[in-house]
Amino acid sequence: MAETSLPAGSAMQTQEADIKAAAVKAALAGRSVVLVGMMGAGKSTIGRRLAARLGLPFFDADMEIEAAAGMSIPDIFETRGEPDFRDGEARVIARLLDNGPAVIAPGGGALMRKETRDRIREKAVSIWLKADAEIIMRRVKRRSDRPLLQTADPEATVGRLMSEREPIYQQADLTVWSRDVPHEKIVDECVDALHGRLCDQEGRMGITP
Ligand code: S3P
């Protein structure tokens, strides 16, 4: 493809990336992009950069939940319990989707609710940021603010959650491997995947998800 022969970071390469991102944004036609996947998959890190690339606002659903509740996620789990957190999470994601287009990063468990999956399918294009267990473990170990991982054996917990959730994540419209490469490379791959799915060769609306 043309861009592989251009020197990295060249003005022409940047221009091509801008044109591709603009084509994707137009083809989204008001829909949002939702990044799904496990804790530690990089949904917020990549989402923030993808939003900047597409010229869309970015929302981290966990941060929106914390703002709405006026307390941190661990405090919500502790004082109100997980079912209450999940209700709030479903409401926040519904609101973000209603107010789109945006790039949205829901928490890793949000898709376990069918109503949330249905809303995402209706109002967004979803990308599964897929990461292997080793990468997830390495990343989640850096933080202690994930209540579900405060167990005697966090590794086993991650394994169990992955096997429960991956069949759901794999229903996403697109899949991009999250791995230890520069963030902008993963963003490029997200834009390429969106472009391939949404745009025909002239960069106009193609297949609808
Ligand atoms: C959760 C993931 C977290 C957060 C909460 C529960 C989960 O978000 O919503 O701790 O069930 O996987 P991230 O996926 O952004 O870490």
Which protein residue's CA is at the shortest distance from atom 4 of ligand 1? 107
pLDDT > 70 fraction of the chain, expressed in percent and rounded: 91
State if residue 90 touches ligand 1 by the CB under 6 angstroms criterion.
no
State if residue 65 touches ligand 1 by the CB under 6 angstroms criterion.
no
Cα radius of gyration rounded to whole Å, the chain: 17
- Residue 130 pairs in a beta bridge with 177
Spatial neighbors of 104 by CB under 8 A, at least 6 apart, are 32, 33, 34, 35, 47, 58, 59, 61, 93, 96, 97, 124
Q: Which of 1-5, 17-21, 201-205 has the highest mean pLDDT?
A: 17-21
Q: pLDDT value at position 5?
A: 57
- Residues 16, 18, 20, CA angle at the centre, nearest 5°? 70
Q: Is residue 30 very low, low, confident or very high in pLDDT (cuts 50, 70, 90)?
A: very high
pLDDT tens column, 160-181: 999 999 999 999 999 999 999 9
State if residue 148 touches ligand 1 by the CB under 6 angstroms criterion.
yes
What does the buried/exposed string (b/e) look like for 6-42 if buried means 16 or more CB atoms within 10 Å of the residue's CB?
A: eeeeeeebeeebeebbebbbebbeebbbbbbbbbbbb
Q: Is residue 141 very low, low, confident or very high in pLDDT (cuts 50, 70, 90)?
A: confident
Whole-number Å distance between alpha carbons of 61 and 92: 7
Residue 25 has pLDDT above 70, yes or no: yes
Which protein residue's CA is at the shortest distance from atom 9 of ligand 1? 107
Q: In angstroms, what is the span from residue 2 Cα to ligand 1's centroid? A: 39
Q: Are strands 174-177 and 32-36 parallel, antiparallel or unpaired?
A: unpaired
191 close to 24: Cβ distance less than 8 angstroms: yes
Helix, strand or coil for residue 195? Answer: helix
Give the pLDDT mean for 110-114. 97
Q: What is the DSSP string of 108-168?
A: TTGGGSHHHHHHHHHHEEEEEEE--HHHHHHHHTT----GGG-SS-HHHHHHHHHHHHHHH
- Residues 143, 148, 151, CA angle at the centre, nearest 5°? 85
Residue 27 has pLDDT above 50, yes or no: yes
Mutate to test the pocket of ligand 1, among 146, 158, 160 (most ligand atoms within 8 A of CB): 146
Stretch (H or E) spanning 76:
helix 73-80
Residue 2 has pLDDT above 50, yes or no: no
pLDDT > 90 fraction of the chain, expressed in percent and rounded: 81
Average pLDDT, the chain: 91
Q: Is residue 7 very low, low, confident or very high in pLDDT (cuts 50, 70, 90)?
A: low
Helix, strand or coil for residue 102? Answer: coil
pLDDT tens column, 81-108: 999 999 999 999 999 999 999 999 999 9
State if residue 139 touches ligand 1 by the CB under 6 angstroms criterion.
no
State if residue 47 touches ligand 1 by the CB under 6 angstroms criterion.
no
Q: pLDDT value at position 16?
A: 87
Residue 64 has pLDDT above 60, yes or no: yes
Residue 203 has pLDDT above 80, yes or no: no
Residue 21 has pLDDT above 70, yes or no: yes
Residue 101 preceded by cis peptide, ω within 30: yes
Which protein residue's CA is at the shortest distance from atom 15 of ligand 1? 107
Q: Which of 140-144, 158-162, 164-168, 188-192 is predicted with the least confidence, judged by mean pLDDT?
A: 140-144
